[in-house]
Amino acid sequence: MYKTVLVTGGTGYIGSWVVKGLLENGYTVRLTVRDKKKTSKFLHLQEIAQNKPGMLEIHEADLLLPQSFDDASSGCDAIIHLASPFTLRFKDPKRDLLDPALLGTRNVLDAASRSDTVKKVVLTSSVAAIYGDNADLHEQGLIEFTEEHFNYSSSLHHQPYSYSKVCAEKEAWRIHNNQDKWKLVVINPSFVMGPSLSKHSDSESLVFMKGILKGKYQTGAPDLLFGFVDVRDVAQAHLIALESSNAEGRFIISAITAGMTDLAAIIKKLYGKKFKLPAMKAPKFILYLTGWMFGVTLKYVSRNVGHPLKFNNNKSIRVLGMTYTPFEITVKDMVDQMLAMNMVN
């Protein structure tokens, strides 16, 4: 049984739910932050810890600094490495996305190798490490994506976030394969939705939902498919992967594939005319003309809009025993909480 777990990125959208689950299960959680003085980042976790059987410790570490995680990992039984930027708002893709993802993974896993106690690492990757564009499915002659596939189509200049995820995960497997002290399990979630534990979260998931609720796509939503999964299911997958001796390799964590108009239809069913929702799919040729307004390139539109997408989540159900939250519940809980916290302004 792993008793002391180092968690990177634990103040984030997914990470906060992971930390909550660990505390509920009696773990001692070593949470790493860049600056312990910025208590607002982790105050919600300290409040959660007060009423849970586990213990929360706060440690300082920097993803970009070698050996920065050595002290925090010393004496730990396991590491859950969630810290990696998920943002579509960046200026320099190498500095803002690739370096923190790749160097952060290297520095955290090198610390695991230098530790005499770490026996398992659970890494948060993404389906973005499995595919880059929806068009990849057809180009590879596939019906669905599985854990066997790796993203080959992304680069620093096209889908840089996805590129950062596949580079970081491949680095993790390289480091793992060059040592025999710890076991690696990788979680590959699709687009994560659901309630946030922190009002201060700047997750792209919340930004995405806020855009839909505030009428960003009122004139028409792109014919764009995503895999969706509840944030609480993703956290649960991490906990099971940590504790299960049967968990090996990668796990696609995804509940449903749906489009933006499908999401809007659920919101309309639940809330009526409360929000300015998209009522139709925007023609692809319009997106070629207006995509720049939404921060997407012509190449992105060409390779993603109107293309099918499917994930195989059988391994997660078979090995981890995942039972996925119905998407309507995910959406309702997320919107209700955003309304309660006045996040839709």
Structural domains in the chain plus CATH codes: 4-340 (3.40.50.720)
Average pLDDT, the chain: 93
Parallel/antiparallel/unpaired status of strands 28-33 and 4-8: parallel
What is the per-residue pLDDT for 199? 76
298 pLDDT band, cuts 50/70/90, is: confident
Question: Distance between CA atoms of 305 and 284, rounded to whole angstroms?
Answer: 7
Neighbour-count burial of 178, counting CB atoms closer than 10 A to its CB (0-12 exposed, 13-18 middle, 19+ buried): exposed
Question: Distance between CA atoms of 84 and 190, rounded to whole angstroms?
Answer: 15
**CA nearest neighbour of 121 among 173, 48, 86:** 173
Q: Residue 315 corresponds to which tokens in the numbers above?
A: 């391994």
20 pLDDT band, cuts 50/70/90, is: very high
Question: Distance between CA atoms of 14 and 7, rounded to whole angstroms?
Answer: 11
Return the C-alpha torsion angle 213, 217, 221, 227, nearest 10: -40
Bridge partners (DSSP) listed for residue 250? 186
Q: Residue 294 corresponds to which tokens in the numbers above?
A: 């939404």
Q: What is the pTM of this model?
A: 0.95
Structural contact between residues 32 and 8, judged by C-beta atoms closer than 8 angstroms: yes
pLDDT tens-digit map of 119-140? 999 999 999 999 999 999 999 9
CA angle 236, 76, 12 (to 5 degrees): 45
Could you tell me the CA-to-CA distances from 163 to 64, 160, 209, 211, 233 in Å, in that order? 18, 5, 24, 25, 25
Neighbours of 107 (CB within 10 A): 21
Q: Residue 77: what residue type? A: D
